[in-house]
Amino acid sequence: MRLVQYTLFLFMCLVVAPHVCAQKHRAEGAAENDRWNSTPNDVNNLLKCVKDLIDANYVMEVKTLAELHPDPSQNPILYYTGHYNYELPDAQRKKLRKFMLDGGMLLFNTGLGSAPFYRSTVKELEAIFPEQPVERLSPDHPIFHSYYSLDRVQYSAGVYKTGFKGNEPWFDGVTINCRTMAIVSRFGMAVGWDGGDVSPKYAAYMPESAQKLGVNIFSYATANRAWAKNMASKMKFIDKDRSSTGKMSMVQIVYEGVWKTRHAGISVLLQTFNKKTEVPVKFGLREMGLDNKEIFNAPLLFLCGHENFRLKKQELQNLQTYLKNGGFLFAEACCGRKGFDLSFRQMIAKVASSPLKPIPQGSIVFQIPHKITSVGVTPQLAAQGGQAVMPPYLEGVEMDGHYAVIYSKMGLQGGWEMSQSPYSLGYNDASSIKLGQNILMYAITQ
């Protein structure tokens, strides 16, 4: 097998690029005593492991942000580490935002588990992506399973002195269009990569866990590189008519957390539905919270996510009233993620006073406008289930003789955009579109 080489730049800059290069980055103006390179052998040790295990040859370079090439193909991964509070100029924030949206990844390591550096990093990411929350990644996130399966890790004694309890890995991230493009490790990884003993004073991962997490990060980044480039080069779908004039408004539910996992999926589905069917209905798309009384004017609500979520009391009450008054809820666990799936099941059982149940294969849901007897699935789901084709599977809750809720625990939106994530547990493009169109048809005709 040919070994691909990349460059990793370290912040001072850690960058990974096409030869592939990893870069270690030190921000302009950072004080020498910021100790951004207090574990000098950390990345080199990790990259040797990455080369042996995943056939990706990353070469480390150290640069400042000013020296950073804006094209992610030149430096796919940036690594930033430190110990103290910091703040980036607006120009650097804009540069990093574009870098990540164009397919790059930014990895932040808290030096020895530094809380000030962690807080500053979260604040910076919130400034870089004000529209997308920084969210803790749940244990089922593919980054914890891309090479090693790491639901649980070993921490140093210093971690527990911070008040943290448990043995789950703690990464926060910014995820857009099903790709986590910024990762923040709450506890230090570099000291574990550096070799030797980890002092109980440090809030850090033990060496074996740190190394495995590092390999997983590079495995995840490498698998996403080609896909991210394809996503970035796609023509962005823009619904020029955002008003609901002359249209029935489908509402995407806004809630606390990452409620928008794909930015074009629903709009694309609505366009294909309007072109496919002869039903004289044009759907518009609106976004609002369940605390907005305007939801009662919408014939269809859509809810999705990746991670665990919780609705507020008033939101739950409004959703319950909406469904009892004849409304329809279409929901999906984007990428087939377990966190959202568990939260949704618990929530809907409370709101609808009934658990989700499988929709029978003979249901009209699978008949119009497409007769669906089998579906194709993503490679990741096929590998997990052992079959690339399976019977369609949806779940629902019936009220007054019809389905008021239809839910897919397998990912659909990536298929609507014809670009499922490499880690998606979902239906393939053609099957996703057919299932989505059938659900819309059911919603407006039953």
pLDDT reported for residue 242 = 47
Answer yes or no: do 217 and 310 share one domain.
Answer: no
Q: Are residues 270 and 379 in the same domain?
A: yes
Give backbone dihedrals phi and psi of 164, rounded to 5 degrees, phi first.
-70, 140
Domain final residue, candidates 186, 202, 232: 232
In a domain, 175, yes or no: yes
Residues of the domain holding 220: 4-232
Starting at the edge strand that comes first in sequence, how are the strands of the sheet with 402-408 ordered? 283-289, 248-254, 300-305, 329-333, 402-408, 395-399, 357-358
In this structure, is residue 141 part of a structural domain? yes
Can you give the pLDDT at residue 74? Answer: 80
One domain for residues 319 and 386:
yes
**What is the C-alpha separation between 206 and 200, in angstroms, rounded?**
10
Chunked mean pLDDT (size 10), the chain, 446 residues: 44 40 48 52 78 72 80 85 91 92 91 94 96 93 94 95 94 94 95 86 94 92 76 44 56 94 88 78 84 93 95 96 96 96 96 96 95 96 90 96 97 93 94 96 88
262 and 348 share a domain?
Answer: yes
CATH of the domain at 187: 3.40.50.12140
169 with 266, same domain: the answer is no
Beta strands in 247-345 (DSSP E): 248-254, 283-289, 300-305, 329-333
pLDDT at residue number 39: 61
Pairing mode of beta strands 248-254, 300-305: parallel
User: What is the value of pTM for the model shown?
Assistant: 0.83
**Tokens 């480039």 sit at which residue?**
229
316 plus 364 within the same structural domain: yes
What is the per-residue pLDDT for 225? 76
Regarding whether 216 and 288 lie in a shared domain, the answer is no
Cβ 285 vs Cβ 266: under 8 Å: yes
Residue 111 is given by DSSP the state G
Which of 32, 14, 443, 67 lies closest to 250, judged by CA?
443
Same domain, 281 and 207: no
Indicate if 207 and 352 belong to the same structural domain: no
For residues 158 and 89, membership in a common domain is answered with yes
Co-location of 265 and 194 in the same domain:
no
140 and 196 share one domain? yes
Spatial separation of the C-alpha atoms in residues 70 and 47, rounded to whole Å: 23
Question: What angle do helix axes 313-324 and 338-352 make, rounded to 10 degrees?
Answer: 60
Residue 241 lies in a domain: no
- pLDDT for 312: 95
Cα dihedral sign, 128-133-134-137: negative
Instruction: Determine, yes or no, domain membership for 238.
Output: no
Q: Is 239 a domain residue?
A: no
Q: How many domains does the chain have?
A: 2
- What is the reported pLDDT for 21? 43
| 230: CB partners within 8 A, 6+ apart | 419
The Cβ of residue 121 has, within 10 Å, a number of other Cβ atoms equal to 27
